[in-house]
Amino acid sequence: MGEALQELARRADCEILEGHLLPDHAHMLISIPPKYSVSNVVGYIKGKSAIHIAGTYYGRKKNFTGEHFWAKGYHVSTVGRDEEQIRKYIKEQEAEDRRLDQLNLFK
């Protein structure tokens, strides 16, 4: 799946600098040229990747309507001086999610 997302980003003149796919969500640091809106790029990547997943993993020959693979929303933030901190967050997020899940077991 990572290669497909990388290719979609390249087609949109963007680059995924850092990424981590989890079973229920993804974290990505994407470099988007200023001439493109973030919403258009994210919409393109989410839409085309959903079509790719439907065809590759679910054997769909046509686009499907009324079903959703990705959630409707997303979180975005600009990165300046803290790019390394964002990269670290993405790399460590899976371990942090597991830690929080374990804490929730005791509630």
How far apart (Å, rounded) are the C-alpha atoms in residues 55 and 103?
Answer: 38
What's the chain's average pLDDT? 82
Taking the C-alpha atoms of residue 11 and residue 13, their distance in angstroms, rounded to an integer, is: 5
| CA-wise closest residue to 61 among 72, 51, 69 | 51
pTM exceeds 0.75, yes or no:
no
In total, how many domains does the chain have? 1
Q: Which residues are catalytic?
A: 89
- Show the domain range for 38: 2-105
- The percentage of the chain sitting over the pLDDT mark of 90, rounded to a whole number, equals 29
Residue 11 belongs to domain with CATH number: 3.30.70.1290
